[in-house]
Amino acid sequence: MAEPTIAQRSPFPFEVTTGKSYWWCACGRSKNQPFCDGSHKGSEFSPIQYDATETKTVFFCGCKHSGGKPFCDGTHSKLP
């Protein structure tokens, strides 16, 4: 399993809207973080879909190493 690229070592706060779908970048290469822009093509990564069931601010993982993808679980603070 290839290692994802660390986009940033902190989460991306983002207000999601009820009923909308979001595609979180898992590979870390997107130029439109924290979302997929297609840059994963040719890698073994693919985006993770998140369907918002309420309008609220969530914290998408920026380091791409979270154990609770697509959200930050604090793993970024333990990365070497």
Stretch that binds ligand FES, among 14-22, 50-58, 64-72 (CB under 6 A): 64-72
Element (H, E) at 60: strand 56-60
Rounded to a whole number of angstroms, the CA Rg of the chain reads: 12
Q: Is 58 in the site for ligand FES (CB under 6 A)?
A: no
12 beta partners:
60
Stretch that binds ligand FES, among 14-22, 31-39, 50-58 (CB under 6 A): 31-39
Q: Is 11 in the site for ligand FES (CB under 6 A)?
A: yes
Cis peptide before 47 (omega within 30 of 0): no
Structure tokens at 5: 């690229």
- Judged by the rule CB under 6 A, the positions of this chain that interact with ligand FES are 10-11, 25-27, 29-30, 36-40, 45-47, 61-63, 65-66, 72-76
